[in-house]
Structure 1
């Protein structure tokens, strides 16, 4: 929807606007005295040549969350059980998935911490609730010989409403993962642009 207004005033009218799907937009009207053009001794057009107004469309969806913790479900989904922040009721800490509340561009980051001398594989995936159709958005494989460490993966993706996003491990880790006061396993996501 383009939120602009056209208003005829003496002369030609120009209309400028930008397409906005939700939230606040702006409309601009400008005019020139060209139809007819003033004669050499004619009266000039009076008043402002531009006018601005704010227009409000439907409210935008807000989707943002950050969660941490260790909980790998039987299907390899990593659930981050401790929700730090959530807006838009999009992330389910029991099942470990985000449900897209609307069509748009989303951004996700996951951080996984693990003990030394262990290998670790995980990725961010989108798909259906029953996991019959899954697409990998990012993948990470790490091995650490020294001290305990954390590794991450991130992805931007265009999602349609009701698509699920989750972190999948390449196997069910038990003692390899760790979380401490100075090292959290986290999953963060946000709707960047509604479409």
Structure 2
């Protein structure tokens, strides 16, 4: 039988022994690993000329291969672009052809439109000319109607009295104008000038001095008498004697009308025995 404390020493010895064995194993493993490393690690080789040239050739071949691949890719891309360009050119050519056809159609339509426009212009021109002629004719008719209306509504009348002389052509002149509507009677010449064609009525009244046996008288249109006569004064007359005469006549525009036939010395000019001459437009002709 063991004494107390003997077990404790035994445990210490066992533990020391185990540690020693572990250390030996660790060293053995380390040593083995080092030898294995020395055996497996190759020693550096020397660079020979053959290896250099082989490496250079390989590099060149790789570069050529890269260039060949690049060229092939470039050609493929260009072929693709050329194909696309060709298709685009074909498409453009088709579009140009279509545009050309459309232009031809438009040109044809424009020619047709110009032809129709020419016909319409000719028609319109003829129509406008005809319309212009009709307007001119209508304007002429309106002017004629205006003239006719003016003639029908125009007032022409005169009345003069108190004879004071007789002109060289035998026209009696009067000093007092009572009426001269239309300003057709000329007091300086004693002549009435017709302003328009028409039917006129003319009247004359003459007073002859006492002691004159007879006088001639007339009313003339131009050189034609429309009334003429001779007036006899009675021998037993104590004062001047008067007579009246009248006539209607067609007088054209511009013709002259006058009264006369006697000498001025035969006329009486007393206040109650005044000669006179008058006329009036009855109707325009």
User: What residue in structure 1 maps to residue 245 of structure 2?
Assistant: 153
- Cα–Cα, structure 1 residues 122 and 57, in superposed 2: closer, same or farther, change >3 Å? closer
Determine the structure 1 residue equivalent to 2:279: 189
The answer to whether the Cα contact below 8 Å between 1:117 and 1:143 also exists between their aligned partners in 2 is no
Which structure has the bigger radius of gyration? 2
* CA distance 1:178–1:62, change in 2 (3 Å): same
Helix, strand or coil: the match of 1:140? strand
**Partner of residue 138, structure 1:** 227
The answer to whether structure 1 residue 73 and structure 2 residue 162 are counterparts is no
Structure 1 segments of 4+ aligned residues over 4 angstroms from their partners: none
Q: How many residues align?
A: 135
| Pairwise CA distance, 1:22 | 7.0
Structure with the larger helix share: 2
Counterpart of 1:180? 270
Q: Which ranges of structure 2 fall in alignment gaps of 5 or more residues?
A: 1-144
- TM-aligned CA distance change 1:194 to 1:116, over 3 Å: same
User: Which gives a bigger RCO, structure 1 or 2 (Cα 8 Å, sep 6+)?
Assistant: 1
Question: 1:15-94 alignment to 2 at 5 Å?
Answer: 57-58=149-150, 60-70=153-163, 71-94=165-188
Structure 1 length normalisation: TM-score? 0.64
Report the counterpart of residue 120 of structure 1 in structure 2. Answer: 215
Partners of 1:121 and 1:169 within 8 A in 2? yes
For residues 47-101 of structure 1, give each alpha carbon's deviation from its aligned partner in whole angstroms, at most 9, with x where no partner exists: xxxxxxxxx9446221101101221112211112211111000111110111001
Instruction: Decide which structure has greater strand share.
Output: 1
Residue 261 of structure 2 is aligned to residue 169 of structure 1: yes
TM-score (norm 2): 0.45
